[in-house]
Amino acid sequence: MRSNQQSEGAKRVPLSLRFKGRQKTTHLKHLEYSATIKKRLKIGVLLPSLSLKRKSSTYIVHSRNSLMPRYTSYIELKEYIKLRNAAFQSDLIGCSFDCHIIIHLERLGINPMACSQEWRLIRQKIKRFHEKYNVGFAMVWAMENVPSVGVHVHCLLYRGVLLKDEYRKMFLAAIGYPRTSAELIKIKSYHADKAWDKNTQYLSQYICKGIREEHRHLLDGTDCRFQGEIIGKRVGWTRNLL
């Protein structure tokens, strides 16, 4: 009887952990998803890899591999080769990069642990913004974390037919940071007709300056040094390039 009562009492515990293989799930019964729970579990702040799903009256927090966030310290050789190939491919598909954008995520007030997640949301907004104006969306990017400016991202982007002066205003509004100073979000344009020969070739190497030391000879004199640790993906590109 006592063991049955204990088992029934254990079932009534609102918060319990269940481990199933490598997947870890947390059940939150009879609780609404609110800011309190978000703060309590630190979802998207300290554990950006977690996602919240609802099944009947139970909330489950899923993690693919581990509750610990993924740290990256360098750009690997394979990532460097893919990024350079993606930059070259942009010219072949008619979306030659003509814009270099630097977004200082941490200086915008974003927690360093959540910068990768915020940058993922910004990329989605940029894509919708380009689709709205029927402009091809092609981009490569790399994240860095240095003591002087914190976590920031470099991206090479195809601006297309959108005018230079109008593009900044529309771009900032589209990503949700209107009236942001040029010190926090820098947008530098260059001529697309000479993009690969000069600008893109140089810039695609410049944003990879966080590559491992043994591969820095590939960057043709670019000033390479350790670019800090990043939580989440360090480099990336749009799917139409690779």
* CATH architecture type of domain 71-237: 2-Layer Sandwich (3.30)
Q: What is the mean pLDDT of residues 148-172?
A: 87
The residue that leads in pLDDT, 26 or 120, is 120
Name residues whose C-beta falls within 8 Å of residue 189's C-beta, 6 or more positions apart in sequence. 98, 99, 100, 159, 164, 167
pLDDT band at 192 (very low <50, low <70, confident <90, very high): low
Q: How confident is the model at residue 86 (pLDDT cuts 50, 70, 90)?
A: very high
What 8-state DSSP symbol labels residue 74?
Answer: S
The answer on pLDDT for 53 being more than 60 is no
- Return d(Cα 118, Cα 35) in angstroms, integer: 18
Supply the DSSP symbol for 70.
P
Tell me whether strands 23-29 and 58-62 are parallel, antiparallel or unpaired: antiparallel
The region that residue 30 occupies, defined by phi over 0 for left and psi between -120 and 50 for alpha, beta otherwise, is: left
Give residue 136's pLDDT.
87
Angle formed by the axes of helices 115-132 and 164-175, to 10°? 130
Which residue reads 């915020």 in tokens? 118
| 49 band by pLDDT with thresholds 50, 70 and 90 | very low
Q: Where are the domains of the chain?
A: 2-62, 71-237
What are the structure tokens assigned to 179, written together? Answer: 């009236």
Quote the CA–CA distance of 224 and 242 in Å, as a whole number.
26
Global model pTM greater than 0.85: no
Over the stretch 97-129, which tens digit does the pLDDT of each residue have? Answer: 888 999 999 999 999 999 999 999 999 999 999
